[in-house]
Structure 1
C-alpha cells in the first residue's frame, strides 16, 4: 500500500488548481461539488470564467498569475493538470517545499491521489489502485454503488445526531460498538433505509434511554470455517461474523490474509498446534471459549476448512452446549472441495467415481488403525486429510485393501494459497510424491478422477514432449 486513504477537511484551507486541460476541469467540478474553496490558476481567464456558471457549492477564484510562482504554504493542497512537461517542474518545487500535491494521472509526481468515490452523504467510500488503474477503480466503484442503499448517508447522519447523547446516557456495562451494531442491523436501521424516518428516530431515542440500565452479559460463540486458505473463499456469513467479533481464536491453518478480513480491533488469539512444538490442548481451548462468552463477548473459533470435517468442531459445540453458552456453526469450504476445484479435479464423475470418502490419517492410533477396506472400491474417490507424513502407510493399506497400485493419485499442498503445489502420479508412488511436495497442509486424493485434473493432463503433455525430443 503506497497511498494510505485519508479524508481531507476542505474547510481547512484553499485548494490550488493549475491548468486548463479537460482533466483540470473535471477536478474543478469534483472539488466544487465537495464544497472546496478553489484558486484556479488559469492561462485563459475568459474561457475559465464561462465554466464557473456550472453549479456547485464551492467557491472559485481565478488567478492569472504564473503557476510556477505558487507558494504551497498558502494552500491545503495543490492539484496540477497541465498534462505536459510543466507538470514536472512545478511538482518538483512544491514537493521540495513540503506541499501536498496531486499531478493528475502522474502518481510518480504526487504524494496524494484522488480515489474513485461512492458518495452517500455522510458515508463516503474511496477506492484506489495506487494510481495504477483508474479504470479498475471505477469498475469497483460501480459494483459498490449497486450494493449500498441510497439512504445510507442519511442513516449515518441520524446516528451522528444521537452519538453524543448515547455516550452520556449509557450505563458502563453497555458496549458502544454493540449498541450501534444493533441500530444498523436491526429494526431502526431497516426503518431508516426504507425512508420511515419518524419511526427510526423515535426507536433510536427510546433505545438511548433504555441504555441507562445495566446490560446483562450475553456472549455467543461462532464456530467458523475459514476455508482452505484463499480469503476470497470465505463465505459471506463467515466474513460478516469476523467483522463483528470481539475475540477470535484461530488455528495454524488460518492464513494471515484471512485474519486481515477480521475487525481491526478484534483480539486475535492463536490456539493452534504446529508439528514438533507444544500446543494448547483441546480442553484448554474449550475452557477459554466458555470464559470469553461468559464475559459477554462475541467469540469466533476460526478453523481452516470446515469446523465439522476433521476440525473437532463437534466436540467444541458439545462442550459449549453443556456450559449453557449460545453457539452457532458457520460452515466453510472444506479442503477436499476447495483444493480439488483449484486444479480442476472432479471428486465425483458419472459412472466413474460414484462414491466419495473423507478419511483422516491423524487419528490417536495413527493411519494404521483406519479401516481402509471402505476405500477399496475402484469407483470410490478417497480424500485423505493430514496424510502427508503417513503417505507410505496410506499406500500400503489401500493396496492391501485391493486398490490397484496404478490408481492415479494427487498430493495437493497449501491448496488455494499463492504457494500451492500439486503433484500427481500412481498410488505406488505416493510416498515419493509426498516427500517431493515438501511441508504444509496437504490433501491426498486417490481415484481415477485424478486423471481428469489439470496437473495430470500437464504431466501427459510433458511426457509427450520428452518422447518427441
Structure 2
C-alpha cells in the first residue's frame, strides 16, 4: 500500500489551487463541495473560475505562483501545464509540510485524489496509487451503477440514531452485531423503497427487542483455498466481514487475511513441523470459549477444512458444547494447485482415479498404503510431503511404479509466487533440493503430469516465463 487512504476534513479551511484551466476548475469544484475556502493562483483563469471569483465564491490572485501564496494553507493542488511550476509548488509545499497534489504526477504528490462515489454522507474512494486513473474511474462507474442513491439516506439515518443506540446497548460487540443485522435486513429495504418513516419505526422496534438479549456466539469454519484471493467463495467473503475474531493457520495467505474485517481480533494458530503455536486441543477449546463469550469466530483454514484440515475435530468439540457453527468449503490445494499448474488430475487416456494422501501422519512418520498408491493409471496427490519427498519417491518405486513415472512438485500454487518443478520419481528429490523449495508445496505423481507441457496457462507476474518450469525430461512422450 503506497498511500494511506484517509478522509480529510477541509470544511471552512483555506485550500490553494495553482492553475486556471479546466483541470484546475474541476479540482476547485471538488474542494468547494467539501466545504473548503478556495484560493486560485494563475495569471489567467477560464470562464468558470472567473465567474466563481466574480461571485466571491473563490479568491483569485492574478499572478504567477510564489512561495508566499502557501501561507496559512492546509492543502495545495498544482494543476498547471508547466511542469517547472508544478515541481516548485510541490517542493515548497513539502518543505512547509503542507499536503500537496500535482495532477497526473504521483511522484510529486504527498496525497492523491481518488475517484469518488458520492452517496453523502457515505463516500467511497477508489485509487490506483496514481498508476492507472482510468482504471479507477472505470471501477467507479461500476460501483455507481450498483450502489443505490438511497444508501446516502440510510447512512444519514444510522447517524441520527447512533448515539441513541449506544445509550441503549452498552456492549460494543452486541452493538456492532445489532447494526450489522439491522442494516442487512428489512431496514435497508424500507429505505430503498422510500419508506423512511417506516424504516425509523422498524429500527426502534428492533432496538427494543435486541437490547435485553446477550449476543449468541457462533463459529464459522471457512476454507480459504490454496492462496489466491480470487478463489474464495462469496459465502466465505461474507462471513469474513462479519467475524469479531479470526483464528488463522500458516497456510492462509496475507492477501486473504487482509480481506477479513479490519477491526476483527487476530489469533495465529499456525502449525509447522515440530513447532505448533497452539496445540489442536487448545484451538478447539479456544473456539468454544470465544463463542461462549458471544463472539462470532472465524476459523480460517488454508484449502478445505475437511481435507487434511482437521476441521472435523474442531466441529466435534463445538457440537459437544452446543456451539452453533457453519462450515464453508474451500477449493482444496489438490484441485486448485493442479489447475493452475496445467495438470488435470484425471484424464481418460492417463488416469481414471485420483488419490489424496498426506506426506506425514500424526506421529510424524510416513506409513502409507504403498501397494494401493503404486498402481498404474491413477494420480497420487500428496499434501505436506516436501520433507519426506525422497522417502515417498523411493517407496513408490519399490512397490512397483517405474522410476520414470512423471512427478511434479508445486510451491505456493495459484499465487504470484508459484514455482513448478517437473521431473520423475527418480529425479524429483534432487531437483527439489537444487531449487531450494519451501512449504507450502503439493506433489503430483502420475502420467497426467505429462500434460503440463501443453496445458500450462498460468504465468505468475513476478517470474520470467522461461524460469517458470525447472524440468528434467521424464520420458519420450513429454
Common fold by TM > 0.5: yes
Across the two proteins, how many residue pairs are aligned to each other?
Answer: 461
CA distance in 1, matches of 2:342, 2:382: 18
1:372–1:198 distance in 2 versus 1, CA, 3 Å: farther
Shift of 1:400: 4.1
Paired residues of 1:169 and 1:211 also in contact (CA < 8 A) = no
Superposed counterparts of 1:30-429, under 5 Å: 30-44=30-44, 47-48=47-48, 52=52, 59-68=57-66, 70-84=68-82, 85-172=84-171, 175-213=174-212, 215-364=213-362, 368-429=366-427
Q: Tell me, which stretches of 5 or more residues in structure 2 are unaligned? A: 457-465, 474-478
* C-alpha spacing 1:382/1:194, structure 2 compared with 1 (3 Å): farther
Q: Matched residue of 1:10: which SS?
A: coil
Deviations along 1:160-196, one digit per CA (max 9) or x if unpaired, are: 1100111112254862211111122122123223433
Q: Which moved more, 1:125-134 or 1:160-169?
A: 125-134
Query: Residues 402 and 62 of structure 1: is their aligned pair in 2 closer, same or farther, counting only changes over 3 Å?
Result: same
- Residues of 1 paired with 2:320 and 2:397: CA distance? 43
1:428 match: secondary structure: coil
Q: CA deviation at 1:374?
A: 3.3
User: Bigger shift: 246-255 or 357-366?
Assistant: 357-366
CA shift, 1:463, in A, is 7.8
Q: Kindly provide the CA deviation profile for residues 288-309 of structure 1, in whole angstroms up to 9, marking residues without a partner as x.
A: 1111111111011111111010
Output the CA distance in 2 between the equivalents of 1:434 and 1:36.
Answer: 61
Counterparts of 2:116 and 2:251, CA distance in 1:
36
Q: Higher mean Cα deviation, 152-161 or 234-243?
A: 234-243
Shift of residue 367 of structure 1?
6.1
Q: Aligned-pair distance for 1:311?
A: 0.4
Instruction: Give the unaligned 5+ runs of structure 1.
Output: 465-469
Sort the Cα spacing of 1:245 and 1:46 in 2 relative to 1 into closer, same or farther, 3 A.
closer
RMSD of aligned residue pairs (Cα, Å): 2.9
Q: TM-score, normalised by structure 1?
A: 0.89
Give SS of 2:179's match.
helix
Q: Find the aligned partners of 1:53 and 1:13 in 2 and give their Cα distance.
A: 17
1:53 Cα deviation after fit = 11
Aligned to 1:422, what secondary structure does the other structure show?
strand
Structure 1 residues 281 and 3: CA distance shift in structure 2, 3 A: closer
Change (3 A) 1:395 1:109: closer
CA contact (8 A) 2:217 2:324 kept: yes
Say yes or no: does 1:439 pair with 2:445: no
- The answer (yes or no) to whether the contact 1:309–1:334 under 8 Å persists in 2 is yes
1:11 match = 11
Q: Distance in 2 between matches of 1:210 and 1:116?
A: 40
* Aligned match of 1:467: none
Distance 1:190 1:375, change over 3 A: farther
The 1:366/1:187 distance shift into structure 2, 3 A limit, reads same
TM-aligned CA deviation for residue 158 of structure 1: 1.0
Write the deviation string for residues 24-65 of structure 1: whole angstroms up to 9, x where unpaired.
1222333344444322234236735565499xx993333324
1:450 offset after TM fit, Å?
A: 0.8
**TM-score relative to the length of structure 2:** 0.87
Quote how far apart the aligned CAs of 1:217 are.
4.2
Contact preservation (8 Å) 2:411, 2:420: yes
Distance, in Å, in 2 between the alignment partners of 1:91 and 1:442 is: 48
CA distance in structure 2 between the aligned counterparts of 1:46 and 1:443, rounded to whole angstroms: 63
